[in-house]
Amino acid sequence: MSRYKVNKSIRDINAKIKAGKVVVATAEEIIDIVKSDGPEEAARQVDGVEGVHRVIADYVGPQVRAELHVEVDGNTSFHNAHRTSNAVRDAVQALDAVDLAFVHLEPAQGQPGEPS
Any domain includes 53: yes
Q: Is pLDDT of 5 > 70?
A: no
- All residues at 6 or more sequence positions from 87 whose CB lies less than 8 Å from its CB, including other chains: 46, 47, 48
Domain count, the chain: 1
E strand or H helix that includes residue 48: none
Question: C-alpha angle 74/80/82, rounded to 5°?
Answer: 95
Query: What is the average pLDDT across 70-97?
Result: 87
E strand or H helix that includes residue 6: none
Any domain includes 115: no
Any domain includes 88: yes
Query: Smallest Cα–Cα separation from 102: which of 76, 70, 73?
Result: 70
CATH number for 34: 3.30.70.1350
Query: Smallest Cα–Cα separation from 64: which of 35, 37, 93?
Result: 93
Any domain includes 20: yes
pLDDT band at 2 (very low <50, low <70, confident <90, very high): very low
Any domain includes 113: no
Any domain includes 56: yes
More confident residue, 82 or 44: 82
The answer to whether residues 35 and 95 touch, using CB atoms and an 8 Å cutoff, is yes
Any domain includes 116: no
Q: Is pLDDT of 99 > 80?
A: yes
| Structural domain range at position 75 | 4-107
Torsion angle, alpha carbons of 101, 55, 108, 44, to 10: -70
Query: What is the average pLDDT across 2-17?
Result: 62
More confident residue, 70 or 3: 70
Question: What are the Cα distances from residue 60, in Å, to 23, 48, 57, 72, 97?
Answer: 34, 30, 10, 29, 11
Amino acid at 108: A
Any domain includes 114: no
